[in-house]
Structure 1
Amino acid sequence: MISRWTVVVDRDDLTKTEVLHDELPTDLEDCEILLRVSHVGLTANNVTYGVIGDMIGYWRFFPFAPEGRGVIPVWGFADVVDSTLDAVPAGTRVYGYLPMASHFVVRAKLTSSGFVDTADHRADLPAVYNSYLVTSQDPAYDPALEDLQALYRPLFLTSYLLADQLADNKFYGASTVVISSASSKTAFGTAQCLQGKGVRLVGLTSPRNVEFTTGLGLYDTVLPYDASVDVEPSVYLDFSGSADVRSALHDRLGASLAKDISIGLTQQKASADPRSEFFFAPEQLRKRTADWGSEGLAERFGTAWRSFTAQAGSWVGIAQHSGPEELIEVWQAVLQGKVSPDTADVITF
């Protein structure tokens, strides 16, 4: 038997955590693969998974927590420990959607780039989260950039698809895009994708992050939250989940606010404001897969990803951590908003 540790959180209070230990079976069934998680990135994006876990189904991906608690998904790399598939032998390295746990088992169906997990509990969940890329078959993989990929690739995919949706809809007639929590990684990834698209980019952030956000060179204007934005046709991209910021913008812009879209939630509550619509990246992913085909989408995303990573390494330093206890320490810091925007956290399991 293989011993596994798992970090679980209270689904009603994300600050409450516990490390559980159990045994994994060594006898795999047909098509099963045992993965050992190697290292992952942890950002405010993972908080969103917990905040809207019931709404989207994020708690259902890794259902091995006691009732009332859950396993927060993370993105990163894992290695095959044991496999019933000759095409995915032990030692194979994969990138994908992982639990806050040392090990887990997938029921694999092979694809051209790796495999998907076809376990019953994931059957009706968004396909993008069920796919695992074998690094030797991934054209975007660079072993020297694993930390950047673990941190940024899932965030940047959201950034890319959000920017694409805006452009695809001609920015809903707006000439300005206002972005809250502008120092966050998904937010400034979106700004990077929108550069040169013919819209003015206004970043809103806390006073302590104005200098960092301005230094990115991605926004035309960076303002603290208590400043007033210009009244002009605008789209609001809400990465903060702040009801106060939303209300202030609606009061200020009035009919000039063409669209209000919620993406991330750096605050620990989901918005129920009917003035805002929630952006769900898999929907735009499905649309563009239909429009361009899988290869066409991969080619376009790859070009954008390489442009982003060429700059991202100079914006944010990477802090290394290891083990479940340090994972919990980072989780608590992210929950409390204590992570500096110029630092990103990678945890080795």
Structure 2
Amino acid sequence: MSNTSWAIDIDRDDITQARLVSDPATPLVAGQVRVHVDSYAMTANNITYAVFGKPAGLFGNDLGYWDFFAEPGEPGRLPVWGFAIVTESAAEGVSVGDRFYGYYPMASDAVLTVGKAGPGGFTDITPRRTTLPPIYNQYQRIEALADYRAADHEYWPVFRPLFLTGWLIADQFDDEGDYGVQQILIASASSKTAIGLGFALKQRADRPETIGLTSAANVDALAAQGIYDRVISYDQIMTLNASTPAALVDMAGNGAVTRVVHSHFGSQLLASIIVGKSHWDAQADVEGLPGPERQGFFAPGRSQKRISDWGGAVFGQKIAEAWLAFMDIAPRLASVDKRSGGDAALAAYREMLSGQADPRTGIVVVP
């Protein structure tokens, strides 16, 4: 299928059922552009998108992640972050050859509807997308990205959306006075979102201790990265001082780990934040948990709050400064594993879904 456009269809009710399909081009209508996806990343974050593909209340309406790139009743098309080049345009302000960073379907090509095109990029105004969070609908010209460096190109799809989420979580802790805690436990600490959180927290002089929680096999390698103050294995949680006020940030939605932490700290656990659900098949096991009620973290909502607080320019400047500092160390945190074509894309999805992907690599698919 290498010589034709392809896409990966996923069963909306069973995310393990995915297949590679041909995706013939259809004529554009006025206002649309066709793009060829240059590259995108496959991360645990994408599995969270699949888990919440069907409506789950995240967007304040009856839409889910499947609704970005597929009409109701059609198989799901998984959203991914990456770069694309315009191959055909019927829209003013966007030309063939223009390159954009943004949100695309797991496919070789995509059709987008251009609104508000300008020097910085455009907003997709496909009807089903207009009620979704704006951050997902913005396509940024590479030349207009103030913090884009060619040397970092392959790390953008791997780290950018995950780092932004981690940075926003750290900002929420700062904004909330760290919830009054002295230690922040970060589960699935080898995940790229967790690393972004740990890095952002480390930039603060006055902050709680950060403790990365990971599997025993990952402890030494993760500790050597110097992102967290301490790294321990899940079976060492009970050795932590339960009288020291703590917060839990759960990156993967593993109910067993959540229960151990809540049970160990009880009333001294002052905040419990769940970010992702990459452990999609893990038993939730959250009924009757001692300690605080778990709260979900939704990055687009936090972004909108800070844009409202600071203005878009200041928000962008803060992100750019943090991102460039992180990019200076990113190559030592993860290597890039490039894979080409539709078959490789499907295999990458299945690998990530199985939980077997190496967290020390970033899978980049080149359609």
Bin for the TM-score computed over the shorter chain? over 0.9
Secondary structure in 2 matching 1:91: coil
Aligned to 2:241: 230
Distance (Å, rounded) in 2 between the aligned partners of 1:304 and 1:256: 31
**Pairing 1:73–2:79 present:** yes
Q: Give per-residue Cα distances to partners, 1:5-49, cap 9 Å, x unaligned.
A: 1101222322221111132223x2222111111100111000000
| Residues paired across the two proteins, number | 346
| Ranges of 4+ aligned residues in structure 1 off by more than 6 Å | none
Which of 324, 346, 349 is the aligned partner of 2:364? 346
**Pairing 1:89–2:98 present:** no
**Pairing 1:289–2:298 present:** no
Which of 103, 107, 110 is the aligned partner of 1:101? 107
**Letter aligned with residue 274 of structure 2:** S
Secondary structure in 2 matching 1:48: helix
Distance (Å, rounded) in 1 between the aligned partners of 2:324 and 2:187: 25
Distance (Å, rounded) in 2 between the aligned partners of 1:95 and 1:22: 22
Given that residues 241 and 269 in structure 1 are in contact (C-alpha distance below 8 angstroms), is that contact kept between their aligned partners in structure 2? no
**Aligned positions of 1:95-174 closer than 5 A:** 95-109=101-115, 110-174=117-181
TM-score normalised by the chain length of structure 1: 0.95
**Letter aligned with residue 157 of structure 1:** L
125 and 148 in structure 1: CA distance in 2 versus 1, 3 angstrom threshold: same
**Aligned positions of 1:192-231 closer than 5 A:** 192-197=199-204, 198-227=207-236, 228=238, 229-231=240-242
**Pairing 1:31–2:40 present:** no
**Pairing 1:265–2:272 present:** no
Q: CA RMSD in A?
A: 1.7
Aligned to 1:59: 66
Given that residues 259 and 285 in structure 2 are in contact (C-alpha distance below 8 angstroms), is that contact kept between their aligned partners in structure 1? no
Q: CA deviation at 1:142?
A: 1.9
**Aligned positions of 1:180-195 closer than 5 A:** 180-195=187-202
Secondary structure in 1 matching 2:259: helix
Distance (Å, rounded) in 1 between the aligned partners of 2:166 and 2:119: 25
TM-score normalised by the chain length of structure 2: 0.90
Given that residues 51 and 269 in structure 1 are in contact (C-alpha distance below 8 angstroms), is that contact kept between their aligned partners in structure 2? no
Q: CA deviation at 1:143?
A: 2.3
Q: Give per-residue Cα distances to partners, 1:230-265, cap 9 Å, x unaligned.
A: 221111000121111111111100111011000022
Q: Give per-residue Cα distances to partners, 1:126-178, cap 9 Å, x unaligned.
A: 11000000111111222222110011111111111111011100111111110
Unmatched 5+ residue regions in structure 1?
Answer: none
Given that residues 74 and 97 in structure 1 are in contact (C-alpha distance below 8 angstroms), is that contact kept between their aligned partners in structure 2? yes
**Letter aligned with residue 214 of structure 1:** A
Q: Give the fraction of aligned pairs with identical amino acids, expressed as a percent.
A: 34
Distance (Å, rounded) in 2 between the aligned partners of 1:22 and 1:301: 36
**Aligned positions of 1:240-319 closer than 5 A:** 240-269=252-281, 273=286, 275-319=293-337
Q: CA deviation at 1:64?
A: 5.4
Distance (Å, rounded) in 2 between the aligned partners of 1:216 and 1:243: 27
Given that residues 193 and 304 in structure 1 are in contact (C-alpha distance below 8 angstroms), is that contact kept between their aligned partners in structure 2? yes
**Letter aligned with residue 215 of structure 2:** S
**Pairing 1:327–2:350 present:** no
Distance (Å, rounded) in 2 between the aligned partners of 1:208 and 1:337: 14
Secondary structure in 2 matching 1:214: helix
Secondary structure in 2 matching 1:139: coil
**Letter aligned with residue 170 of structure 2:** A
